[in-house]
């Protein structure tokens, strides 16, 4: 249920607008400035939309396109003019929004960064992509962990950027920290479309959360992004889905209160609770150990696959990136 795409907002609802932004081609600082203005114009469009949008979600690469250009002049900073313009746009339109920037990093490659800004223009969440899409992306792996923030109308928001959503651990961590709405922004191209839907649905159901996801759309003459915005409820059902029309805003209502209700009252398939309370019918409060070898190996820095020595792609040379720095 999505209230006819958010047209019929309920008292406990959050109407989300997912922007299938047309894929830009960015070569200069002037291009970056023009694209920032376009994003602000789309915020104005969302404000005038027939559905009362509370949260506008833009895709990954909304300002920079898919060139993977790491030139310093094209990078942004969280306190820089592009972000300030986005903050002012949130204030002016009285809307929350999720934005994407490529963030300058003085100590290495830039970060692929997501920002959630409230309707007063205050940055409520600053997240650096934990899992760049290797070997095709050059970004520094994120160092912010996986933060969450309170959002509009009882929502708790978390953000997974593109490839992050392919790791169930990312959405589980966000839900574990309280997120009942998991946003996913992407620049994905059509070959990923099936995996996109599978993971968006699985991440929702296994965590009793809503997922709201959107990719860039259209073509830059080389790359083609898929759009395919979607909202999935906590039972794993797609309630809203877009196509591949560039600059279309796909809307739908999310009910964070219902996700919270399920987390409290579900018995069967309350998996996020049951993960840490194994077999509570047989054992009081369940077993609370960590039986998974990979979890302990990650923690101890000894993560190693049985086929580790056979893996062929372990740097970005396939995509003509230079050798990585030592860690």
Angle between helices 29-48 and 81-93 (to 10 degrees): 10
Token representation of residue 190: 């059509």
Q: Catalytic: which of 40, 60, 90, 98? A: 60
Judge contact between 228 and 170, C-beta under 8 A. Answer: no
Handedness of CA 275, 276, 278, 280 (dihedral sign): negative
The string of DSSP codes covering 26-42 is --SHHHHHHHHHHHHHH
Q: Choose, from 103, 162, 173, 253, the residue flagged as catalytic.
A: 162
| Closest to 35 measured CA to CA, from 56, 65, 75 | 65
Q: What per-residue confidence (pLDDT) applies to 56?
A: 98
Q: Report the pLDDT value the prediction gives residue 3, as an integer from 0 to 100.
A: 80
Query: For residue 62, what pLDDT is reported?
Result: 98
* pLDDT per residue rounded down to tens, the chain (327 residues): 678 888 889 999 999 999 999 999 999 999 999 999 999 999 999 999 988 999 999 999 999 999 999 999 999 999 999 999 999 999 999 999 999 999 999 999 999 999 999 999 999 999 999 999 999 999 999 999 999 999 999 999 999 999 999 999 999 999 999 999 999 999 999 999 999 999 999 999 999 999 999 999 999 999 899 999 999 999 999 999 999 999 999 999 999 999 999 999 999 999 999 999 999 999 999 999 999 999 999 999 999 999 999 999 999 999 999 999 988
**pLDDT, position 216:** 98
Instruction: Based on the residue annotation, tell me whether 169 is a catalytic residue of this protein.
Output: no
Residue 109 DSSP code: S
| CATH 3.20.20.70 given to domain 3-274 | no
Q: What is the CA radius of gyration of the chain?
A: 20
- 287 three-state secondary structure: strand
Residue 162 annotated in active site: yes
Alpha carbons 212 and 227: distance in angstroms, whole number: 13
A 10 A CB-CB count for 8 gives 14
Nearest to 29 by CA among 72, 78, 86, 83: 72
Active site residue 9: no
Instruction: Pick the catalytic residue from 40, 82, 90, 129.
Output: 129
For position 102, what pLDDT does the model report?
A: 98
Contacts of 43 (CB under 8 A, 6+ apart): 56, 89, 90, 92, 93, 95, 97
Measured distance CA(176)–CA(96) in Å, rounded: 23
The per-residue pLDDT for 7 is: 86
């Amino acid at each position: 249920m999505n209230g006819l795409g958010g047209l019929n907002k309920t008292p406990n609802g959050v109407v989300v607008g997912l922007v299938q932004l047309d894929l830009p081609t960015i070569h200069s600082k002037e291009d970056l400035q023009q694209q920032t203005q376009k994003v602000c114009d789309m915020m104005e469009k969302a404000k005038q939309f027939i559905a009362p949008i509370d949260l506008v979600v833009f895709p990954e690469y909304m300002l920079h396109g898919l060139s993977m250009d790491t030139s310093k002049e094209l990078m942004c900073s969280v306190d820089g003019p592009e972000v300030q313009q986005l903050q002012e746009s949130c204030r002016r339109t009285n809307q929350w929004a999720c934005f994407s920037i490529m963030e300058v990093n003085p100590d290495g490659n830039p970060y692929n960064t997501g920002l959630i800004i409230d309707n007063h223009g205050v940055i409520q969440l600053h997240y650096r992509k934990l899992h760049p899409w290797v070997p095709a992306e050059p970004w520094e792996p994120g160092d912010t962990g996986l933060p969450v923030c309170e959002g509009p109308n009882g929502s708790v928001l978390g953000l997974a950027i593109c490839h992050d959503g392919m790791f169930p651990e990312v959405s589980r961590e966000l839900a574990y920290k309280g997120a009942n709405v998991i946003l996913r922004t992407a620049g994905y191209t059509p070959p990923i479309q099936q995996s996109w839907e599978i993971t968006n649905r699985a991440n929702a159901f296994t965590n009793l959360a809503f997922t709201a996801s959107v990719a860039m759309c259209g073509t830059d003459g080389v790359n083609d992004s898929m759009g395919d915005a979607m909202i999935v409820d906590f039972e794993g059902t797609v309630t809203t889905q877009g196509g591949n029309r560039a600059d279309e805003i796909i809307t739908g209502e999310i009910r964070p209160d219902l996700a919270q209700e399920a987390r409290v009252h579900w018995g069967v398939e309350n998996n996020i609770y049951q993960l840490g309370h194994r077999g509570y019918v047989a054992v009081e409060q369940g077993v609370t150990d960590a039986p998974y070898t990979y979890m302990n190996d990650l923690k101890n820095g000894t993560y190693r696959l049985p086929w580790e020595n056979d893996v062929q792609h372990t740097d970005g040379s396939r995509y003509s990136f230079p050798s990585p720095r030592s860690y």
